[in-house]
Amino acid sequence: MKPSPTVREQIVAGAADMIGRRGLNATSIRETAKYTGAPLGSTYHYFPDGKQQLAMEAVRHTGEWTARSLRKALEAGPVAGLRGFLAVWRRIVVDSGFQAGCPVLAVSIEEPPVDDETPPALAAAADVFTTWESLLADSLRTHGVEPRQAAQLSTLIVAAVEGTVAMCRARRSAQPLDDVAEQLEAIVLAAIRN
Amino acid sequence: MKPSPTVREQIVAGAADMIGRRGLNATSIRETAKYTGAPLGSTYHYFPDGKQQLAMEAVRHTGEWTARSLRKALEAGPVAGLRGFLAVWRRIVVDSGFQAGCPVLAVSIEEPPVDDETPPALAAAADVFTTWESLLADSLRTHGVEPRQAAQLSTLIVAAVEGTVAMCRARRSAQPLDDVAEQLEAIVLAAIRN
């Protein structure tokens, strides 16, 4: 039996959802506690380094469950993997009435404090993008796409999905995702066949 | 002679830059005044409806100058247009040390206030995406791509550019943009030749 999520895990998942909806700057430890129903004290207990720690874990959390789902979908090949990846994001956007999005993108586009080291959440976002790209690129290579094209195509897929989620939210419609899905599928099929 | 920008135009351009760097929630009228060196009173004078009005105009401002640059680049065909569009965003990201980005994307991914009409800035973002897509799609159709593919491909291009800008910022590198540029160029060339 799968163990039920701990309070800590619930806070991280809630933070990921909030950051995907509102962005990093509008997400506070206090708001996350309220949002997840966790006692405020527990958030400070679990995340002594504050918001950047929570944001970093939220980004990793999103990275990991998406990677698990992508890895599973890729077992049936790159086109199935692409479809699975797009379906995950389509569900998040549509089921939330176009209000939820990707916390990895959100963290990437908010300027870090000046004169600071790379903030941990931003570094985590870069790692997550790399993980998703690697999974897609490995699958493309296994199916005969030469390494350079496989790597570039996987970057295109991740970028297109991230951008399209934002376009769907602006337009309050899943049409951009469906249009991009059709094009990416044709592109992946052509790359495999060559 | 081109007239020098008015105080109002300077505030709008400054707000566009700030929203692209920090997101919408972290951009205030007060901060924008400070950032652009405009008297605080003038911002309230020019933007009586507050932050949403300023954000809407910032989004439109970005949409318009990018569309002008894209329209000009497209005069030499879809591949030149694509290159010009990518070059604009590459310059913004690289010249800012990977801290600046796209205010249209930023506005799209921050949840609007609950129970509200669609906020004007979000509606403006949807319009800007549509304008960019239409310019690209028109050029693709003129160069022989059938309408459905032209429309979908232009959505893919806009989405990919937006997503890649975020990936470049997370990775502190222009590599994702260069990789996506190479793939998109091959895709557009193949579509034109078919």
Mutate to test the interface with A, among B104, B111, B134, B153 (most CBs of A within 10 A): B111
pLDDT at site A171: 96
Q: Are the beta carbons of A109 and B166 separated by less than 8 Å? A: yes
**Rounded Cα–Cα distance for residues A147 and A182 (Å):** 23
Closest CA relative to residue A89, chosen from A112, A113, A73, A109: A73
Residue among A110, A125, A156 minimizing CB distance to B183? A156
Q: In this complex, is the C-beta atom of A25 within 8 Å of any C-beta atom belonging to chain B?
A: yes
pLDDT at site B112: 74
Interface of B with A in 121-160 (CB under 8 A): 122, 125-126, 129-130, 149, 151-153, 155-156, 158-160
Q: In this complex, is the C-beta atom of A17 within 8 Å of any C-beta atom belonging to chain B?
A: no
Q: What is the mean pLDDT of residues B158-181?
A: 98
Confirm or reject CATH 1.10.357.10 for domain B59-193, answering yes or no: yes
A3-54 per-position pLDDT tens digit:
678 899 999 999 999 999 999 998 988 989 999 998 988 888 999 998 999 9
With CA atoms as reference, the chain A residue closest to B180 would be A156
**Rounded Cα–Cα distance for residues B51 and A152 (Å):** 39
- Give the CA distances from residue B21 to residues A133, B45, B91, B92, B142, in Å, rounded to whole numbers and listed in that order: 25, 25, 14, 11, 36
A119-158 per-position pLDDT tens digit:
999 999 999 999 999 999 999 999 999 999 999 999 999 9
* The pair of three-digit structure tokens given for residue A86, joined into one six-digit string: 């797009």
Q: Where are the domains of chain B?
A: 59-193
pTM recorded for the entire structure: 0.96
Query: Which of A7-11, A157-161, B148-152 bottoms out in mean pLDDT, i.e. has the lowest?
Result: A7-11
Residue B3 scores a pLDDT above 80 = no
Backbone angles phi, psi at A170, to 5 degrees: -65, -40
